[in-house]
Copies of this chain bind each other. A is one copy, B any other.
């Protein structure tokens, strides 16, 4: 057997596999073998492990991302995880929207619920980087303005530097922002730096920033930080949010509303 000068460590290799599947939505065993230069047996073993970890789902001939539409069951589950809470949060947020306003929604399932509530509000202007939200309102509803930018498949949002080109030219009254994690110590975080960047730009432009996050997000920390608690005017969450968390926020001057 010929060894590479720099043998790739197994976890490294698995991470690459995961990334390839996430980016492409799917990957074939044969393609992975060629691009990683290991035997198919190794690829299969890796896929087996990744599947156990829930990172991918194997299918005959390769594997598909658990977060793409190809794997609808899982994706829907994620959307409907604590769906009632998210629905109530969205309804609470909806009450804050006044006639003729311009609002912003970022990606995420909570904001998607809010988008669905806007179908009859043709008086509003909606700015969003969420492809899903745009699709929901493709037929009727507010005037929709998309931010543009690179499509991030995993979240179905438009992210990156290009988004700011559009965002800098509009101003919204209220920005409703979902987040992956919110922590008293580490602030607001999401998984992707590009996503974080886009959120950042919006938070600066918006009249008011309203955070929508179910209690499951509390004290979660992800990779990329965005915004700042100081920039947040109001958090809407559910009743399961811990008292301590609420208090600390209120002490910092952030209003908290539990639905």
Contacts and interface: CB of A to CB of B under 8 A. Distances in A.
Contacts of A169: 162, 165
Interface string A22-47: 01111010010000000000000000
A207 interface: no
| Interface hub of A6, A23, A135, A138 (most chain B Cβ within 10 A) | A138
A59 B11 contact: yes
Interface of A is mostly: mixed
B131 A9 contact: no
B11 A26 contact: yes
A250 interface: no
B140 A156 contact: no
Interface string A161-190: 011011011100000000000000000000
Contacts of A147: 148
Contact of A151 (B59, B70, B144, B158): B144
B70 A139 contact: yes
B146 A148 contact: yes
B138 A151 contact: yes
| Interface hub of A11, A59, A143, A150 (most chain B Cβ within 10 A) | A11
Nearest to A63: B9
Interface of A: 6-7, 9-12, 15, 23-26, 28, 31, 59-62, 64, 68-71, 122, 131, 134-135, 137-140, 143-151, 153, 156, 158, 162-163, 165-166, 168-170
What 3 pairs across the A-B complex have the smallest Cβ distances? A148-B148, A25-B140, A165-B165
11 contacts: A9-B64, A10-B61, A11-B70, A12-B25, A12-B26, A15-B69, A68-B140, A69-B139, A144-B150, A146-B146, A148-B162
